[in-house]
Copies of this chain bind each other. A is one copy, B any other.
Amino acid sequence: MTATHGTLTIGVDIGGTKVSAGVVDRHGRIASRTRRDTPHRSTAPSVVEDAIVSVIDELLAGPEGGGVGAVGIGAAGFVSADGSHVVFAPHLSWRDEPLRASLARRVDLPITVDNDANGALWAEHRFGAARSTSHAVMITLGTGIGGAVLVDGRLMRGRWGIAGEFGHMQVVPAGLRCECGNRGCWEQYSSGNALVREARSLVAARSPLATDLLARAGGDPANLSGPMITEAARAGDRTSTELLAEVGTWLGVGMANLAAALDPQVFVVGGGVSAAGDLLLDPAREAFARQLTGRGYRPQAEIVVATLGPEAGLIGAAALAESALAGSGPEGHPA
């Protein structure tokens, strides 16, 4: 037993493709980590549980295991307001799954379950870009858009825990079809998927503007990826810069809508696409400033990139567990 006994927590981030986990200290530093592939959504919920328990057991058996006092789970899905159930997870097999109780039977530590974007925002609030404010909005730009809201220093979960699903706010009537079943959802215009879709269509059309991207993709549009486009933009490819600017402009328009409703002090932009930095955020800031209602007559929110990077979900899940353990949680989720 060490001096840190009980003050470390395990964070588990369950994404569409992988389960990442780590032992995290009170300052948000990852002491050790591990990962598994996420079982395919056609498998039974218990298979995903097995993967979660397996990473937890591995970390508990490791050198920092004795110091772990709680476990936090972050999932890409709707988590019930009391943290007991995963109500719906598009990329997993869970439908109203009592995850916390199921895990509690197999793990002998307090367990917190939350939405992954909530975790990311909580981590940014405790250790990152939203440290100095109590009013922040998190936007994670990955395949889609994840979101979370900090109000008066607390996570806003909504009545049923499903707040922050910004990606499915309609920005274009009768617009592009979304996986959620609707048309014109924001994430169809501002996300990694949107970026790659537009790049592929440009390459597939054999546009002379797409020469650089075509070469990078080895002649096959299917090979194009978000990081490839960002890399091309960084290297000076004007078309890639424009593609990122288009995603950024829609990002800014959507953020202006959110500012009208939520009036945050800062927007923290995370997720894979945020690696493009100002290539994404400068056009976003410009569109935001042009679109914000009451501009000129009100203070204007800052738009910054997340500081904890791709591990914000893991660190956030751990930080939520730690806050719950310390009784200083973002709100009364029972641990």
Determine if A293 is an interface residue (Cβ-Cβ < 8 Å).
Answer: yes
Residue total for A at the interface (Cβ-Cβ under 8 A): 53
Taking the full assembly, how many copies of this chain does it contain? 2
Q: How far is the CB of A170 from chain B (nearest CB, A)?
A: 6
Q: Indicate which residue in B156, B158, B173, B262 contacts A171 across the interface (CB closer than 8 Å).
A: B173
Residues in B with CB closer than 8 Å to A163 are 261-263
Determine if A107 is an interface residue (Cβ-Cβ < 8 Å).
Answer: no
Q: Indicate which residue in B87, B159, B168, B297 contacts A260 across the interface (CB closer than 8 Å).
A: B168
In the bound complex, do residue A297 and residue B87 qualify as a contact, i.e. CB atoms below 8 Å apart? yes
Q: How far is the CB of A143 from chain B (nearest CB, A)?
A: 16
In the bound complex, do residue B170 and residue A253 qualify as a contact, i.e. CB atoms below 8 Å apart? yes
- Docked Cα-Cα span, A262 to B172, in Å, equals 20
- Write out, one digit per residue, whether chain A residues 265-308 have a CB within 8 A of any chain B CB (1) or not (0): 10000000000000000000000000101110111010000000
- Contacts A135-B159, A156-B151, A160-B263 known; A257 to B298 CB distance under 8 Å? no
Determine if A147 is an interface residue (Cβ-Cβ < 8 Å).
Answer: yes
Selected A-B contacts with CB under 8 Å, 10 pairs = A133-B159, A135-B159, A151-B158, A158-B264, A162-B298, A166-B260, A168-B294, A169-B257, A173-B253, A261-B261
